[in-house]
A and B are shown apart, each in its own frame.
Chain A
Amino acid sequence: MRVRFDPRTVICAISGLACLVAAFSAQAQMAPSVSVPPVPAAPVPAAQPAPVTSVDLAYLALAVKRTLPLSYLDQPPSDEGIQGARLALADDETTGRFIHQTYHLTEAIQPDEAAVLDAFKRLAAAGRKIFVTDLPAALLLRIADLPEAKDATFLDATSEDDMLRAEGCRANILHLLPSRAMLADALMQYLAVKKWRNILLVSGPEVPDKAYAEAIRHAAAKFQIHIVQDKPWTYDPGARRTDTGHYAIEAEVARFTQGISYDVLVVADEGGNFGDELSYRGTDPRPIAGTQGLVPSAWARPFEQWGGTQLQSRFLKQAGRWMTDRDYGAWMAVRTVGEAAARGGGTDPKILGAFMRGADFELAAFKGARLSFRPWDGQLRQPVLLADARSLVSVSPQPGFLHQVSELDTLGVDQPESSCHLE
């Protein structure tokens, strides 16, 4: 349980408005170089004193042991996701201090599926209604379909599954990260703008690789990008570390790309098993994009725009590592709850859930746009970054792709094509 006891909030509950000033002076006295006189009688603002109310959230996750990627440089962190939720909790609490709201986050990160189910039932029985989740699609649906989940809101912080936004969509689930369809559209829009219209699609053998490749095929058709060849990567990656292994890899990639005329190689390798080894080794000098090279993503390490530096540095300070997509998804999930509580005028989970889905909800998430949920499938509409390991290249939607409702809806499955109709 990560429940914080703040003595100031108790005082606030008793004395009403004057506590606001008290909370500030308490803070100020903690700061070093400040000498603050005793608290003066507060000039009373016009608003009525309000009792402190509490927003209770739960973070429900299945701890997944991720396989070692090809490059040993970026090891998957064990606290991915939850660190983003913790940072957003601190942001929510800062706002809450000014408007008489406190936030409590119960962390339930479980080792197996049965334990996740148990934890959910326990939390639901204790009255929790808002869940930020980091769960595989099938488990998320199993929980969301339980009778105890009927009035709950699930903020899916980490999945990119298109299925969860289509035939697997649920009225009680909202999705924070862009779907694979949105990522693929973001990349294809950029290729269309660059007039790099011929791609070689290379997909890995894993299930997520196939889903990513399928999203690329769909997006390519949508933005009139021609897939000149659609090839599966069949070489067994074998042992990751071998002396002088680079000779074999270079020969494999050169053979694989020989005799094909294309502008960009688009790779679908979500596990990072071979994609990093495609650059510089092909027969023709062509850039790599997709899951490696130029990557469409919700968040990226080189991203610094629209105040993004602030979030990057706050996260780095808290977690001691860089923010990943999954951290960012969890940060947005907990901030979504904070925004709904601050603006929806309450802490009742039912009202909060309705407010998040409503037309008045907006989330600022360092993307230079206001983000909101698509009412038909619960997906957060948002710009998608295009970045390589060291620099931000572009941000989609690209200028010129127009939409009658929101240009952000040029990314992903739009309402007319969607098989999900929650509205």
Chain B
Amino acid sequence: MPSRMSIRAPLAVLLLIAALVVGAARPAAAERLLVSNEKDNTITVVDGRSLAVIKTVRVGARPRGIILSKDGKSLYICTSDADHIEVLDLDSLAVSRTLPSGPDPETFTISPDGKFLYVSNENDNMVSVLDIAEGRITSEIPVGVEPEGMGISPDGKTLVNTSETTSMAHFIDTASHEVIANVLVDSRPRVAKWTSDAAQVWVSAEVGGSVSVIDAVRHTVIKKIRFAIPGVATESVQPVGIALTNDRKLAFVALGPANRVAVVDAQTFEIKKYLLVGQRVWQLAFSADEQRLYTTNGVSNDMSVIDVPALKVTKSVPVGRLPWGVVVAP
């Protein structure tokens, strides 16, 4: 926001405002939520406080994976059928730049220093390394069949890529671009998420119906979490999105066509609760203060809002058709 940048308020005032904001427990004060709509070729921008739609931005064909730049000023969008990445400027809410991605980019992750995007190219069994400033692919890393999920360690040294048909999590050294370990998980792994302390990587298997918790040092599966929901066919349980709280106490797992988000104790791996959300729940994102969790629901074309302390679904927000990814921007 330009206005915010121009005001040079004394530090004390800023601190006071911050204290008030926290004290009043207003979640998601000035946040904006960005949702990619795979079918509509749009990004829906939602006000984090009022949950009203601010704008619907038309982008390239089939936007799926989205991620925020490290400075919070841009949104990178995998526009899969356009075979490139688009950069949405979050001030003007217009696409400002296009980056190469390799064929059919589905999803990606960003290096902690904000300089590189690691992109999975489903069609050619490669992970492309994209230098954002230079706007070119500097390297390609061969992986398994149909690379998908991407997760980078907090120190940026290790990248985990999942390959859907090979059913593995590949651990890649980001300095040498060598694969250092391969861990077999259940069928069609989709998302890889590191815990904040870098001790574990959680990998969801959509068709296998499980989440594998991998010891990030020993590269072994230490726990396979399975989900049994009374009255829901086991085939419908298809884990995709994963969100882990920073204190590593809770994990949320989106279960696809089971229309539920599982709440998991991230220490004991016990399932605490299933939250009924919209249809075909796909990806998840926390508000910055982790008071709220947002879900994209691909079939019901909406976003569910979960009150994290209460573990309750409080609202559903209509967005575009086939919402895929969700990101929270400051």
A interface residues (Cβ-Cβ under 8 A, vs B): 20-21, 24-25, 27-28, 31, 33-34, 36-37, 39-40, 42-43, 45-47, 91, 94-95, 98-99, 307, 310, 313-314, 339, 342-343, 362-364, 368-370, 406-408
Contact = CB atoms under 8 A, between A and B. Distances in A.
B98 interface: no
B188 interface: yes
Contacts of A307: 122, 146, 164, 188
B145 A95 contact: yes
Contacts of A310: 122-123, 146, 164-165
B208 interface: yes
A368 B256 CA distance: 10
B233 A45 contact: no
A405 to B, nearest CB: 9
A337 to B, nearest CB: 14
B142 A95 contact: no
Contacts of B144: 94-95, 98
B164 A28 contact: no
B53 interface: no
A323 to B, nearest CB: 15
B146 A370 contact: no
Q: 6 tightest CB-CB pairs across the interface, nearest first?
A: A364-B187, A364-B207, A98-B182, A45-B181, A46-B218, A95-B166
A46 B140 contact: no
Contacts of B173: 43
19 contacts: A20-B179, A21-B180, A24-B142, A24-B179, A25-B178, A28-B141, A31-B140, A34-B139, A91-B145, A95-B144, A95-B165, A99-B182, A307-B146, A310-B123, A310-B146, A342-B167, A364-B207, A368-B207, A370-B235
Interface of B: 122-123, 125-126, 137, 139-142, 144-146, 164-168, 170, 173, 176-182, 184, 186-188, 207-209, 218-220, 233-235, 238, 257
Contacts of A91: 145, 165-166
A94 B209 contact: no
A40 B178 contact: yes
B180 A95 contact: no
Given A46-B220, A307-B146, A95 B233 contact: no
A27 B144 CA distance: 12
Contacts of B218: 45-46
Contacts of A43: 173, 180-181
Contact of B123 (A34, A313, A343): A313
A314 B164 CA distance: 14
Contacts of B235: 369-370, 406-408
B207 A369 contact: yes
A37 B176 contact: yes
Contacts, number: 106
Contact of B187 (A39, A42, A99, A362): A362
A42 B186 CA distance: 26
A356 to B, nearest CB: 14
Contacts of A95: 144-145, 165-168
B122 A94 contact: no
A307 B257 CA distance: 16
A31 B129 CA distance: 14
A409 to B, nearest CB: 11
Nearest to A46: B218
Contact of B142 (A21, A28, A46): A28
A47 B220 CA distance: 8
A354 B166 CA distance: 21
Contacts of B146: 307, 310
Contacts of B179: 20-21, 24
Contacts of B126: 31
A71 B196 CA distance: 61
A47 B198 CA distance: 20
Contacts of A46: 218-220
A24 B179 CA distance: 7
Contacts of A42: 178, 180
A182 B184 CA distance: 32
A54 to B, nearest CB: 18
A363 B181 contact: no
A231 to B, nearest CB: 38
